[in-house]
Chains A and B, each alone.
Chain A
């Protein structure tokens, strides 16, 4: 045991044994609800009949079908990443170089898509360019067309477009943030030495931004490599990433060994990619010199055109789908405006795919989200205390362990729950707790990352001062720690709530048919014919959009620099 850890760790409560016992709770939680299911997945693929047998695994991994799925997963991620960067780079230039009204608001709004639940984004694009969507309806009525002219549904194009929509802001923020901290004199030095135009980009800007571009590319690649909801909802049966294939094999075909083998490959690839990303990300943290680029208002005509074009493209691309979602939810299938789809959420027609009125899905989601918030904040807080000592070797081992649930995709997590938690020793098959437990695993890293910086920045002598002044360890925590980390805790709680409300992949595995969450309900309704189902799906998407946007706004307002950065 590293005694340094114990001595330096702030006291959470009085008795030492109780203190250490409490800190073990989140570890235990991870062990039972994360590592055990994961091991179960491993077991299904590598120990099919109680003994090690790699042949099944080998057969699956070497099959043509598998190779095609893997290949598709790779290249769609690569193309999505390239497209995202191609859009983010010029936008980053505009945001770093120019000053224009509402700039910080623009940047914040551009980040909104990233926090939206997949299912909402899928609905939004369906509402914009889908066969029953805004654009097709408009074009059909304008030109009296018999069929929808825009045929993007179930195409590769729509998958790529949505991937770019999702990730462009992440890349933009990463690159622009790094760029703004570059010393502007470096570029001036290059200009004095004769660099200009493309040579300035090629010999100076791009090499300087290389770490940020690589990190952004790695991150976007990871996100699109594990894309699930977008492909399932918008891609249709023709397209399958590894994630989607895991889901289909496990749930539709009940072919557990194949699903497990795919999961295993997925986990290994993800961890490898995350190691790469962490390395890259470290290199972009190094160079935070004091100099900050001086922005100027656009002056020449071409500069103004550039800024104008960037903002126009951004607003069309980022906000049109969301606007279309809201519009279509109150117009689809009707001649005028209607709130009938919202009103219809309370009824339960015979033969509904949901078995319950849609409104109940909202209730379910709220309850699950609240339970998730309590669990994630509780465990996350304890974990943060466990991880507070940065210099401890133990912590350097534990820290990535607590981030692993983010690395292992939600689908794999749900699949693990399905395999592990429906039989003794831990039979939770019929328990309503499964969903909040899965959500807690996904949300906990966010809570930890929100609280930890605040916790680490409390100078130890502040606590010592309180103790010398007569405060007991419990009082020190209440009067010193809590006020200092409260903002981080609040941000973490909102993160947990929002993540739970929108979580799709894991829920799809573990939700029982009669207790759907909002995303599950939307997914099922979208899969059904008829304007009523479609309208209700969109109406629920709008509600979820509002919840996510509100959570996002609160987080943006609350977080100080360095809190909740990933």
Chain B
């Protein structure tokens, strides 16, 4: 449905976006995930038509959008700070897009009632937007962007301003509404958890480029770059010093690695405590934190490097600081990574 082809942008001599390629099939929610400053909002603004200077092409159903001004694109956009019209009430805000489209008054009324019901704000028509709670304002902003039946919906960190508990509650609800309307959507966020719950697929952005696109499961199980692994909280990344015949040499010793790679990830899914004979890694417990279902243990290797593992807490006692611990890593959970970070992967 939406196609982004070779989009790049420079700002004051610095590349903001580097050759972005994305395809969003009809009915899919794609999440753009990345830290602030990675260019995800800029990309969204280019798609919306709010940024005019860029290279490359954005197409909807095969038709290029260059030269189509913002107001003729028929998209919906929900801003991070919502940007509700302070001079209009709830109904006025929602009616805005309908009025611009020339919808007759009585039809507008019906549509407003419809979307208000959809977002759970039935009867809020005459409320002043300044007097709504944070969650209610969010819903009005959503209703406003949904009302004109946009062919494509964009959401720029729409829950960013809310506290964690409310966000937790709204994410699945928001997904439910978008899915019920069968919309194709682009959802921008810096929160990995939010992206995983919201998106059918997730595109991780870093430094103006898309690092990896895939389902949340694919991203989590098989990250491709050091950045993606780290951003998803998979921290046991080791630089590969030398690769030879299916084996990558690190400061912790050699690990099975089918292809040459710059770094490797010891995926937490494949890590378990073991005895001295089977162990791949031996280290001294440096710090222990109790996380409920697991102990988070920092192990210092004889090389001086530190790795962090989560060990299931059920049926065991707290590992003692200073004690020696052995860890086994399943070979299929050793994942080779590319490195796109300017700094060395392990400092």
Contacts and interface: CB of A to CB of B under 8 A. Distances in A.
Interface in A174-201: 183, 185-186, 188-196, 199
A183 B81 contact: yes
B183 to A, nearest CB: 15
Contact of A204 (B69, B81, B84, B85): B85
Q: Which has the most chain B C-beta neighbours within 10 Å: A190, A194, A196? A: A194
A183 B83 contact: yes
A183 B97 CA distance: 19
Contacts of A196: 69-72
B83 A186 contact: yes
B243 interface: no
B157 to A, nearest CB: 12
A291 interface: yes
A193 B100 contact: yes
B86 A189 contact: no
Interface residues of B, number: 29
Interface string B63-89: 000000111111111010111111110
B100 A199 contact: yes
A194 B81 contact: no
Contact of A192 (B77, B85, B87, B99): B77
Given A185-B83, A208-B86, A191 B96 contact: no
A545 B43 CA distance: 53
A199 B87 CA distance: 15
A191 B81 contact: no
B48 interface: yes
A195 B83 CA distance: 15
Q: Is the interface of A mostly helix, strand, loop or mixed?
A: helix
A193 B144 contact: yes
A: interface residue count bin? 20 to 34
A304 to B, nearest CB: 16
Contact of A195 (B84, B100, B145): B100
A207 interface: yes
A103 B40 CA distance: 32
Given A193-B96, A194-B97, A194-B100, A185 B81 contact: yes
Interface in A442-473: none
A291 B73 CA distance: 26
Interface string B95-108: 01101110000000
B83 A193 contact: no
A144 to B, nearest CB: 55
Contacts of B48: 188, 192
Contacts of A185: 79, 81-83
Contacts of B158: none
A514 interface: no
A210 interface: yes
A221 B70 CA distance: 39
A146 to B, nearest CB: 58
B50 interface: yes
Contact of A188 (B79, B84, B87): B79
Contact of B71 (A186, A191, A207, A210): A191
A189 B87 CA distance: 14
B148 interface: yes
A188 B88 CA distance: 16
Contacts of A190: 85, 96
Given A192-B145, A193-B96, 5 more contacts: A185-B79, A185-B82, A186-B86, A194-B148, A196-B69
8 contacts: A185-B82, A186-B84, A188-B77, A191-B70, A194-B100, A208-B86, A210-B87, A291-B81
What 7 pairs across the A-B complex have the smallest Cβ distances?
A194-B100, A185-B83, A193-B97, A196-B71, A207-B87, A189-B83, A191-B70
Interface of A: 183, 185-186, 188-196, 199, 203-204, 207-208, 210, 287, 291
Interface of B: 48-50, 69-77, 79, 81-88, 96-97, 99-101, 144-145, 148
